[in-house]
Amino acid sequence: QVQLQESGPGLVKPSETLSLTCTVSGGSISSYYWSWIRQPPGKGLEWIGYIHYSGSTRYNPSLKSRVTISVDTSKNQFSLKLSSATAADTAVYYCARELRYFDWLPAFDPWGQGTLVTVSS
Partner 1 sequence: DIQMTQSPSSLSASVGDRVTITCRANQIITTYLNWYQRKPGKAPNLLIYAASNLQSGVPSRFSGSGSRTNFTLTISSLQLEDFATYYCQQTYSIPYTFGQGTKLEIK
**53 or 108: whose CB is closer to partner 1?**
108
Site pattern 13..52 for partner 1 (x: CB under 8 A): -------------------------------xxxx-----
- Asked if 109 is part of the footprint of partner 1 (rule: CB under 8 A), the reply reads yes
HEC letters along the chain: CCEEEEECCCEECCCCCEEEEEEEECCCCCCCEEEEEEECCCCCCEEEEEEECCCCEEECCCCCCCEEEEEECCCCEEEEEECCCCHHHCEEEEEEEEEEECCCEEEEEEECCCEEEEECC
Query: Which among 14-22, 55-63, 66-74, 79-87 is the span making contact with partner 1, rule CB under 8 A?
Result: 55-63
- Asked if 101 is part of the footprint of partner 1 (rule: CB under 8 A), the reply reads yes
Query: Which among 7-15, 24-32, 78-86, 93-101 is the span making contact with partner 1, rule CB under 8 A?
Result: 93-101
**18 or 67: whose CB is closer to partner 1?**
67
C-alpha R_g of the chain? 14
**16 or 76: whose CB is closer to partner 1?**
76
Going 64 to 73 to 6 to 39, the CA torsion angle's sign is positive
By CB under 8 A, name the binding residues for partner 1. Answer: 4, 44-47, 58, 60-62, 94, 96, 101-102, 105-114
